[in-house]
Chains A and B, each alone.
Chain A
């Protein structure tokens, strides 16, 4: 964040408060984030309340107990235990057949919303609507989405609301469900808000939930600084061997990033025709293989389309999209079970004035992710994307102060995210327990008010 001169800081704060109040936005609080020395300890910021009746709720509560979490049940007769500051509320809505059946659980959640801890989590578990659902069932299932997104906008003090949408046949105690729930309950998902993550298969439980990437080899492009450098750190923290790639001109930062995690630096322009080959060769020589590919490298050449030069258009599409496609093409042929995570952007979802080129490339990343998903799934891999909203980086610090402040405030959490928030989402999608997530776009935007 750019430093504002001391005498102006009060003015800046006042501008922020006035804006927040006038627009009915959230006053930001400092978010709970992972302590690298005590990963996932404590997992939640307080006891976890499981709302719902039936075998799914029972199975889920049992699984949570296995993680040493203080789990409490909500009873329809007695209500929730009193005098608690809930770290998380998990609403199990997997058995909805028609509208009206959700009311009991939803109102039970309503009853504890005033007793949430700071940075608490509300997570719904429901079923993914299907084209062949009856209208009533489809309505009941789809309705959860509107509930989650609206609740996200209502919660304060760093609390978030997110949902898991399980495909029919996916058990609530499947590793993919538990893994995603664990991510959403933990500090790792600090800036994920108002999101629904579809889970379409079972996934695999890691040997160690706090180091889920142990033994895996990950490649991160654009690793020298910002989100890329933070991704390298989080992947390494979670146990991965990391090969960092960036353009030769960024080599100094790349070396620093990679030495800090005992990784390897590869100075390479990803638009080079042999980029995929060189990445694979270096990863295989250094670490004996390649498991995870993070397409993070991206460039900005913002201009109104009316003023856009050919170079500004083609370079952005070339780096942000074409290079990714070529590299994955090469790697997928040799690593059939490749796990790919690509960086999309809210600009690619909602659009952003002056970013037609960037928006094209980032929407294109989402399209590519959805097309790679079945191809990689056939070999045992998967493809997902993370779409960051306003993140406090060197790049966004160059935005003028007022628009920057508006961008920060225009989210349910009332602030910008940090690179580590995006990195956490990438590490989650790279992990074996995210094996049930494929072709998804996970937004890390603090529930930015634009787009879905």
Chain B
């Protein structure tokens, strides 16, 4: 398939293996396709599946779709947010369990909810530099099979017990333990510095940006309707492979209505005078995995595989939500304007916008910030992006309806958006300007990653 650039002291071009070329920086990376398993609800269809199981199956589905069984890829880059310590080499273990050639190298990485979009960015950069020809970026998370750890005190005692030499020493150590120390510590994804859950953080952001319940419920309703329509249209026939009997995203409620959403009780920000966040406009805890295949156009052409969209550029941002004035999940308000400014593009140049719906409020607050002149001038030093046409936003649904297995979301969005852009291009091959799409994925720790695709 591909051979690594080989170093040869004699620098004889004929000495290197056939097909091996010198790295060509400023190359191009394209999305060839993707695969994910339907996203399940926590404790649902995948309750018995580990991250390794789900990631392996997702890579296998990708291999079957593109005929990669037995093929050596240049890299598989994947990670999980809720990671067991035994899964320290998750990506490589998934490769070894998959139908890919066992000589496919792999990297395990993590950038909270932006894990797999970060992986896609990394793979695209290596392809663009000519260091690799093809790679897989993937993410997986299980909230059902989350690690449970022992108390900090028990852990310290156990570690010292291992080093203790004499029986009296051991007994003395054990005597330090109290019954409370034996209780397992359930996992949580609260912010370590604020001890607030993401939902509570978003409730504060919603207050700051005056995000209404109605605006949030409208985002949720559109997400369910758009995702249901996309399933109906067969968009996911080439993007999803069923797993453990689940054939569609379990959180999807095609029949939901504005009235039903309006009737839900609030779950976050209930200490505020007018709480607005419900289970309907917040993502459910989910299990699932997603992968995206990224390659040079030459690799894709050689295998007669599609080049759905080019990965043009990406930008990360982080906000100081601990001491500063920005909300935890507002990174997209910085990353996207900076990315578009660098590319010399305005919001009007973008055909499709994908904002990860961690909460509906994230979408509303982020787009509000994009349109806010004062915010743009004071915080970004850039002109405001302007008002986003809702018809361009999350047109095939997003995390509220699909679910959000943390590390899987980026790869889900990259593959879906690339497919949508390729379809627009196929429907209008004459248009001179590229069809462009931008992605914003917010993440824990105040981070976000934005990415620009074009077809």
Contacts and interface: CB of A to CB of B under 8 A. Distances in A.
A150 B390 CA distance: 75
B109 to A, nearest CB: 25
A132 B400 CA distance: 75
A93 interface: no
Nearest to A286: B67
Given A251-B242, A252-B242, A259 B237 contact: no
Contact of B60 (A255, A267, A285): A255
Given A252-B57, A286-B304, A258 B237 contact: no
Contacts of A260: 69, 99
A248 B240 contact: yes
A53 B240 CA distance: 63
A266 B69 CA distance: 14
B242 A259 contact: no
Interface in A282-308: 284-286
Contact of B64 (A248, A264, A285): A264
Contact of A252 (B65, B241, B304): B241
Contacts of B241: 251-252, 254-255, 265, 267
B61 A251 contact: yes
B435 to A, nearest CB: 22
Contacts of B449: none
Interface in B64-96: 64-67, 69-70
A252 B243 contact: yes
Contacts of A254: 64, 241
B305 interface: yes
B333 to A, nearest CB: 37
B247 interface: yes
Interface in A9-56: none
A285 B32 CA distance: 14
A259 B60 contact: yes
Interface in B231-257: 234, 236-238, 240-244, 247
Nearest to A248: B237
A262 B243 contact: no
B104 to A, nearest CB: 14
Interface in B158-176: none
A262 B61 CA distance: 12
B359 to A, nearest CB: 30
Interface string A306-342: 0000000000000000000000000000000000000
A256 interface: yes
Contact of B65 (A249, A264, A272): A264
Nearest to A254: B64
B152 to A, nearest CB: 41
A264 B67 contact: yes
A250 interface: yes
Contacts of A252: 57, 61, 241-244
B63 interface: yes
A268 B238 CA distance: 9
A414 interface: no
Contacts of A269: 234
Interface in B275-297: none
Contacts of B57: 252, 255
A436 interface: no
A228 interface: no
Contacts of A255: 57, 60-61, 63-65, 241
A267 B33 CA distance: 14
A172 to B, nearest CB: 42
Given A252-B57, A252-B242, A252-B243, A267 B69 contact: no
A250 B305 contact: no
A263 interface: yes
B69 A258 contact: yes
Interface in B208-265: 234, 236-238, 240-244, 247
A248 B242 CA distance: 7
Contacts of B60: 255-256, 259
Given A255-B61, A259-B69, A268-B237, A250 B242 contact: yes
Interface in A215-268: 248-252, 254-256, 258-268
B134 to A, nearest CB: 16
Determine which residue in A258, A261, A263 has the highest number of CB atoms from chain B within 10 A of its CB, and name it: A258
A263 B67 CA distance: 6
Determine which residue in A264, A265, A269, A284 has the highest number of CB atoms from chain B within 10 A of its CB, and name it: A265
Contacts of A262: 67, 69-70
A249 B67 contact: no
Contacts of B242: 248-252
A349 to B, nearest CB: 34
B98 to A, nearest CB: 8
Nearest to A255: B64
A375 B256 CA distance: 52
B247 A259 contact: no
Contact of A285 (B65, B243, B304): B304
Contacts of A251: 61, 240-242, 247
A429 B432 CA distance: 50
Determine which residue in B64, B238, B242, B244 has the highest number of CB atoms from chain A within 10 A of its CB, and name it: B64
Contact of B305 (A272, A284, A285): A285
Contacts of A266: 65
Contacts of B238: 267
Contacts of B66: 264
Interface string B43-71: 00000000000000100110111110110
Determine which residue in A249, A251, A256, A263 has the highest number of CB atoms from chain B within 10 A of its CB, and name it: A251
Contacts of B69: 258-263
26 contacts: A248-B236, A248-B237, A249-B242, A250-B242, A251-B61, A251-B241, A251-B242, A251-B247, A252-B241, A254-B241, A255-B57, A256-B60, A259-B60, A259-B63, A259-B69, A260-B99, A262-B70, A264-B64, A264-B67, A265-B65, A267-B65, A267-B241, A268-B237, A269-B234, A285-B304, A285-B305
Given A255-B65, A285-B304, 20 more contacts: A248-B236, A248-B240, A249-B242, A250-B242, A251-B240, A252-B61, A252-B242, A254-B64, A255-B60, A255-B64, A258-B69, A259-B63, A259-B99, A261-B69, A262-B67, A264-B64, A265-B64, A267-B238, A268-B237, A272-B234
Minimum-distance CB pairs A-B, first 9: A255-B64, A265-B64, A259-B99, A285-B304, A251-B241, A259-B69, A264-B67, A249-B247, A258-B64
Interface of B: 57, 60-61, 63-67, 69-70, 99, 234, 236-238, 240-244, 247, 304-305
Interface of A: 248-252, 254-256, 258-269, 272, 284-286
